[in-house]
């Protein structure tokens, strides 16, 4: 019997379509794994900084700025993006934006480290739970975006939570509010930044490296400085602060390219969840009823806005836009750099 010369084409079997889809699914799964790794590492940095609680918070931040600049210089060399960095520093407008972002990042880092070494880890969790909502508020109040019904409900929940926490503690949750505000405005400062996420952080650390070096020289004269009191373990941890800054960011930048932000945003909440668990279970920080109720309102706000975002994303019958630019940002505040 003569065999037919007609052969099944890939198009007739549909295999390429399934293959493309399976590759996309695998890419997303890998992206989720990488994203989870980034956020878990960011959350576990609390344990790292706790090991240095015997040192001054200002000095710790100076060490982080200095070592981060060195690490990011090495990363820039490996990535071959020095031309982009040099071009950025030749632009006055970009330098101004980098300085603003660097100042906000310093305030955020400083508040976070100070809170951790002063046994206020749960307050950092509250701050980073509020941060995504703060970013949305900036979108409405500063950028003129229209607030959805879900966002209005969420903003109301946050207001109630702050009132409850203020009444219970006798003062507003300043650390939490500073963390949320500095991160939200930091995200705003990165809007339309002519650099990718990694190169932008490199530029910010370069802006900070000289002030950090000066601070380290000045602070080294104190009897309580790291130069005079740090153990060998402390020095290893201090010199590693640059790496712990760069590694999660690299993982996050990779994840942001391969998974939709409607998924990346909720993953971001891993960080405050870890901080909350560490503060309560490992470091035995108090969790009175008023604080728990305040957290409950924040969690309710996050559930409302996340549910609304997922539903609005799934509603239109259109292809999902690719996420290919590491400069992309998400209103949920994805990409904490703690």
How distant is the alpha carbon of residue 297 from its chain centre?
22
Q: Tally the C-alpha atoms within 13 A of residue 277's C-alpha that lie toward its C-beta.
A: 9
User: What whole-number percentage of the chain has pLDDT above 70?
Assistant: 83
Lowest mean pLDDT segment, chosen from 101-110, 172-181, 313-322: 313-322
∠ at Cα 109 (108, 112), nearest 5°?
A: 85
Q: Tally the C-alpha atoms within 13 A of residue 338's C-alpha that lie toward its C-beta.
A: 35
The pLDDT value given to residue 22: 64
How far apart CA 169 and CA 291 sit, in angstroms, is 8
The pLDDT value given to residue 298: 92
For 198, the token pair is 């990694």
DSSP 240: T
pTM: 0.80
∠ at Cα 302 (298, 308), nearest 5°?
A: 145
The pLDDT value given to residue 20: 55
∠ at Cα 243 (240, 247), nearest 5°?
A: 150
- Concatenate the DSSP letters of all residues of 129-175 into one string: HHHHHHHHHHHHHTS-PPPPHHHHHHHHHHHHHHHHHHHHHSS--HH
Convert the pLDDT of each residue in 292-328 to its tens digit: 999 999 999 888 888 887 777 666 545 555 544 444 4
How far apart CA 320 and CA 77 sit, in angstroms, is 34
Give which of 156, 154, 137 is closest to 146, Cα–Cα: 137
The pLDDT value given to residue 209: 94
The pLDDT value given to residue 328: 45
Q: Decide if 201 contacts 102 (C-beta within 8 A).
A: no
Q: Strand, helix or coil at 9?
A: coil
Lowest mean pLDDT segment, chosen from 18-22, 115-119, 131-135, 222-226: 18-22
Residue 25: pLDDT over 50: yes
Q: Strand, helix or coil at 64?
A: helix
DSSP 278: I
The pLDDT value given to residue 311: 76
Q: Strand, helix or coil at 338?
A: coil
Mean pLDDT of 158-169: 90
Mean pLDDT of 15-38: 72
What's the pLDDT band for 189 if we cut at 50, 70, 90?
A: confident
What's the pLDDT band for 261 if we cut at 50, 70, 90?
A: low
Handedness of CA 91, 96, 98, 99 (dihedral sign): positive
Residue 144: pLDDT over 80: yes
215: Cβ–Cβ under 8 A, 6 or more apart, which residues? 58, 59, 62
17: Cβ–Cβ under 8 A, 6 or more apart, which residues? none
Residue 6: pLDDT over 70: no
How distant is the alpha carbon of residue 45 from its chain centre?
12
- Concatenate the DSSP letters of all residues of 296-330 into one string: HHHHHHHHHHHHHHHHHHHSS-SPPPP---TT---
């Amino acid at each position: 019997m003569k065999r037919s010369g007609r052969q099944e084409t890939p198009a007739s079997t549909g295999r390429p379509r399934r293959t493309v889809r399976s590759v996309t699914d695998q890419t997303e799964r890998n992206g989720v794994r990488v994203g989870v790794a980034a956020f878990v590492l960011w959350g576990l940095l609390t344990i790292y900084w706790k090991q240095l609680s015997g040192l001054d918070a200002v000095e710790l931040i100076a060490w982080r700025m200095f070592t981060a600049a060195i690490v990011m210089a090495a990363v820039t060399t490996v990535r071959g993006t020095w031309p982009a960095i040099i071009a950025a520093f030749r632009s006055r407008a970009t330098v101004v934006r980098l300085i603003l972002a660097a100042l906000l990042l310093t305030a955020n880092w400083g508040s976070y480290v100070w809170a951790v070494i002063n046994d206020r880890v749960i307050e950092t969790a509250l701050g980073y739970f509020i941060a995504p909502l703060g970013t949305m508020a900036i979108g409405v109040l500063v950028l003129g975006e229209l607030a959805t019904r879900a966002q209005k409900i969420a903003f109301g929940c946050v207001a109630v939570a702050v009132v409850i926490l203020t009444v219970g503690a006798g003062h507003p949750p300043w650390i939490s509010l500073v963390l949320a505000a500095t991160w939200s405005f930091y995200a705003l400062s990165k809007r339309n930044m002519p650099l990718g996420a990694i190169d932008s952080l490199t530029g910010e650390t370069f802006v900070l490296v000289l002030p950090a070096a000066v601070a380290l020289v000045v602070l080294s004269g104190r009897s309580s400085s790291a130069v005079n009191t740090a153990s060998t373990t402390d020095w290893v941890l201090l010199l590693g602060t640059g790496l712990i800054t760069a590694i999660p960011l690299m993982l996050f930048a990779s994840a942001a390219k391969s998974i939709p932000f409607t998924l990346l945003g909720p993953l971001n909440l891993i960080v405050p969840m870890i901080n909350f668990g560490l503060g309560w279970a490992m470091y035995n920080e108090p969790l009175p009823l008023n604080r728990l109720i305040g957290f409950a309102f924040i969690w309710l706000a996050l559930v409302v806005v996340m549910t609304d975002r997922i539903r609005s994303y799934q509603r239109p019958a259109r292809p999902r836009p690719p996420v290919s630019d590491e400069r992309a940002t998400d209103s949920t505040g994805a990409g904490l750099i703690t």
